[in-house]
Amino acid sequence: MKKVHFPRVILALCFFCATSHGAKMDEVTFQLDWLPGGDKAPLYVAIGKGFFKEQNIKVKISHGKGSSDSLTKLGVGIADLGYADLSSLLAAKAREPLAVSAIMSVFSKAPHAFFSLKDSGIGSVADVKGKRVATSAFSSSVVFLPLLLNLNNIPEDSIRIMKVDAGALGPMLATGNTDVIISWMTDTVKYQSQVATVGKELHVMPWYDAGLEFYSTVIVGTDKFLNAKPDVAKRFLIAFQKAIEYTWAYPQESADIVHKLVPEVDTQIALDTIINIRSLVYNDASDAHGLGIINSQRLATSWSYVAQSQGFALDAIEPETAINRSFMDAMAPIGIHGEGTTEEFEVENK
């Protein structure tokens, strides 16, 4: 009897251990740099399509109030990974030690932009000279405005800057109380809707088209988490990159997923945002260096802009110290193809 039942006991124990191990997922707390929306779609797509589950990861998402808030929460260990602006990370590290590192580029071009009305005659950055320009009092774009003006030979005193509440920007443009507003391209859909109420159309002028090229949103992680659980971080990036590719291959489905998981986010707004910000993710920089890869030369340029704009000595930090490159080999293109081909996005944006 012992010879008959002993193997069965062993098999039962092995099955119990295997199923118990499979049931236990690695938990990751992810800190947003703002509220959910179409610009955060890959994170929700990775959850909705089961990409994180494939990697045996369970993700908890926390909302944020900007990059500084995100970095602060990561710095004290409230979250493991999160979104942050690379410029904010570099500036924070230049001020004081911060045990947080960037591991992946999400927006390889910065979303800063001028917005005007199509019939205003303001069609390029050069046309901003002599105009009224409204911006949020707390906008990070304002920090880089002098650099943009200098690159385009526009005297700073040739424009009139008005700092207002962020919620007033769109209405001010729509009603003619300002000629131009400064904001992020992620807000394009909102401003389009606001100016449409008075029968107007929006014109967007990305600052990267006017020479201000640098990294923006990145995925960051606490050094403690990255050192303690490197395999979890790599598996997270594998799932996240798969979700990025899926998001822009299937934008409608991705917008539906965002709405399903976060009902307060309107599906159409999420879809329009996904389409409008494609150039921040897929562009000449991502083509040249690879999706998600932080190129050393472009990183140095990004730091030089941060240093110039915020008064840091160029040698205040070595920008490479803000990057943990040991995870970037996890980011091999998946090659997902769907309705969101480049040609179709170009048509939808016209």
Mean pLDDT in runs of 10 for the chain (350 residues)? 39 36 82 92 98 97 84 92 94 94 96 96 95 88 92 94 93 97 94 96 96 94 97 97 98 98 96 96 95 96 94 96 88 56 30
Task: Report the distance separating Cα 211 and Cα 232, nearest Å.
Answer: 38
* Phi-psi region at 66: left, alpha or beta (left = phi > 0; alpha = psi -120 to 50): left
Q: How many CB atoms lie within 10 A of CB 80?
A: 24
Query: What pLDDT was estimated at residue 15?
Result: 35
pTM over 0.75: yes
Task: Report the distance separating Cα 167 and Cα 55, nearest Å.
Answer: 40
Domains and CATH numbers, the chain: 9-109+214-349 (3.40.190.10), 112-210 (3.40.190.10)
Strands 180-184 and 132-136, how do they pair? parallel
Q: Which two tokens stand for residue 160?
A: 């009139």
Q: How many CB atoms lie within 10 A of CB 265?
A: 20
Is 103 in contact with 219 (CB distance < 8 Å)?
yes
Query: What pLDDT was estimated at residue 34?
Result: 85
Query: What pLDDT was estimated at residue 17?
Result: 38
Task: Report the distance separating Cα 114 and Cα 129, nearest Å.
Answer: 12
- Structure-token match 């959850």, residue found: 47
Task: Report the distance separating Cα 115 and Cα 211, nearest Å.
Answer: 17
Cβ burial of 16 (10 Å; 0-12, 13-18, 19+) is exposed
Q: How far is CA 210 from CA 158, 185, 206, in A?
A: 18, 14, 7
Closest CA to 28 of 193, 221, 212: 221
Q: How far is CA 98 from CA 134, 228, 315, in A?
A: 33, 17, 17
CA 167 to chain centre: 21
Query: What pLDDT was estimated at residue 6?
Result: 36
Coil, helix or strand at residue 343: helix
Task: Report the distance separating Cα 172 and Cα 161, nearest Å.
Answer: 13
Q: How many CB atoms lie within 10 A of CB 106?
A: 24
